[in-house]
Structure 1
Amino acid sequence: MKIFLHFILFSFLLLFTAASVSADTRYISDQLIVTVRSGKGNQYKILETLPTSTPVNVLEEDKDYLKVVTKKGTEGYIRRQYVSKALPKKTQIRQLKKEIITSQQLLETQQQSFQTSQNELNDNKNQITELSAQLNQARQALETKESEYNTLMSHSENVLNLDAENKQLAEENNSLNSELLVLREENQNFHRSNMIQWFLAGAGVFFGGWIIGKISRRKQRRF
């Protein structure tokens, strides 16, 4: 609306400025058809007929008449009272209507541009909101993955420790198995040695008894 008012004021200024600068250009007054005559008076020949709003250039003037030249190049005289320095009201109204239409079109264009900018702004806000949501989701996903990774690493350390312990236990088991085999072998050897010793002891007792028996019998035979 401010643009529209400024444009109207500017248009009025242009009209008045143009009227003041073109001092030699004047216009046929409202609702008139004026004749350009070859001399100062109705008795002179009509050279051209000019309707309302027709511009003419003034060459000379006196109290009652103006000597003018038309767009066609006709030079003649017109009564002073039929010519005005200002644009006729009808012409001003027509021009103002055109300017108002132009201003309205400009205003509509500005409003459309503003609406487009507003829509783009809303779109940008929506995009910012959407991107912010995506960023938060990405951050949450990152935190989840980091937590899972840390848990996995912790479990991995436990697995490595358990693996090392298992290897150590396996080595100890193998060592104990070896020692057990040695002990079993020693036990078997010891058992065999004891059996031999018991066998030898038994055999010795038996042989000793046999010898003693034999000696006793010989002594009995002598008596």
Structure 2
Amino acid sequence: MHKLPIVCFAMLIFTISWHSSAEEKRYISDKLITYVHSGPGSQYRIVGSLNVGDEVTLLSVNQSENYAQIRDAKDRVVWLPLNQLSSSASLRLKLPELEQQLETLTSQLQNIDADWNQRTAEMQQKLADSDDIISKLNEENDRLENQLVKAQTEISAMSLQQDNKQRAIILQWFMYGGGVAGIGLILGLLLPYLIPSRKKQDRWMN
């Protein structure tokens, strides 16, 4: 008699713990339609159907019949084959998320492509500007080189003219010097003859 309350209490705890552990989220596997029954077996009456990806709550499992008792979104408690349940969401539920991820990745890829195209265009523009600057610098360098050659030519001509002028001045000085020397020489030769003759005339008059 004393064992009966203990056994009942143990069974109650086991039932509560088994019931709470059995209530797990499950999903209808990837089939078009899953028929549900009023009991754990195909011999029981079909009471409805579930669509692919519908979320249900697993209540219990009949291992002998390999059937699962579930509660669906309409709060119906029904049975269906255990192999038609899945612990992960079906592809039908994942598809919108995957499509959203694909759309996000596609948008990011387009943005990256647009950004890359913009950077490429900017680099090409900078390269074109650099080519234009280089071309202008080359033209300016050619112009300066031409001016340098012209200036060097003018300097050479001016140096030649300066040399010619110096030669002409030196020649003039030589000519002046030669003329003065010639005159001096002539005077030096004539003066001795002129001066003594005057002395002789003075003596004769005395």
Alpha-carbon shift at residue 84 of structure 1 (Å): 2.7
Query: Mapping of 1:1-223 within 5 angstroms?
Result: 27=28, 52-54=54-56, 65-67=65-67, 78-80=79-81, 84=84, 91-189=90-188, 192=191, 195-196=194-195, 203=201
Cα offset, 1:177, TM superposition: 1.6
Amino-acid identity (%) = 4
What are the Cα deviations for residues 193-214 of structure 1, in whole angstroms up to 9, with x where unaligned? 675588589x49xx6xx9xxxx
Moved more, 144-153 or 90-99: 90-99
What's the secondary structure of 2:66's corresponding residue?
A: strand
The CA deviation at 1:157 is 1.6
Distance in 2 separating the partners of 1:30 and 1:87: 18
Residue 14 of structure 1 is matched in structure 2 by none
Tell me, which stretches of 5 or more residues in structure 1 are unaligned? 1-24, 43-50, 71-76, 211-223
Deviation at 1:155, TM superposition (A): 1.6
Amino acid paired to 1:158? A
Shift of 1:174: 1.8
Deviation of 1:143 after TM superposition, in Å, equals 0.2
Letter paired with 2:113 = F
2:134 aligned counterpart, secondary structure: helix
Say which SS state the counterpart of residue 28 (structure 2) adopts: strand
In the alignment, residue 162 of structure 1 is paired with which amino acid?
A: Q
Contact map agreement 2:69 2:79 (CA 8 A) in 1: no
Give the 3 Å change call, closer, same or farther, for CA 110–196 of structure 1 in structure 2. Answer: same
The 2-side partners of 1:113 and 1:85 are apart by 42
Quick one: which amino acid aligns to residue 115 of structure 1? A
Amino acid at match of 2:145: E
Paired AA for residue 158 in structure 2 = V
Q: Which moved more, 1:173-182 or 1:137-146?
A: 173-182
Query: Which letter does structure 2 place at the counterpart of 1:53?
Result: E
| Closer/same/farther in 2, CA of residues 143 and 55 from structure 1, 3 Å limit | farther
The Cα of 1:94 is off from its aligned counterpart by 3.1
Structure 1 pair 26/91, CA: closer, same or farther in 2 (3 Å)? closer
Aligned partners of 2:62, 2:169: CA distance in 1, in Å? Answer: 129
Deviations 1:140-190 (A, max 9, x none): 011011101111111222222223222222221221121011123234446
Q: Give, as a single letter, the amino acid of the residue that structure 2 aligns with 1:164.
A: D
Name the SS for the 1:79 alignment partner: strand
State the superposition RMSD in angstroms: 4.5
Give the number of aligned pairs.
160
TM-score, normalised on structure 2?
Answer: 0.57
Question: For residues 62 and 198 of structure 2, what CA distance do their matches in structure 1 show?
Answer: 171
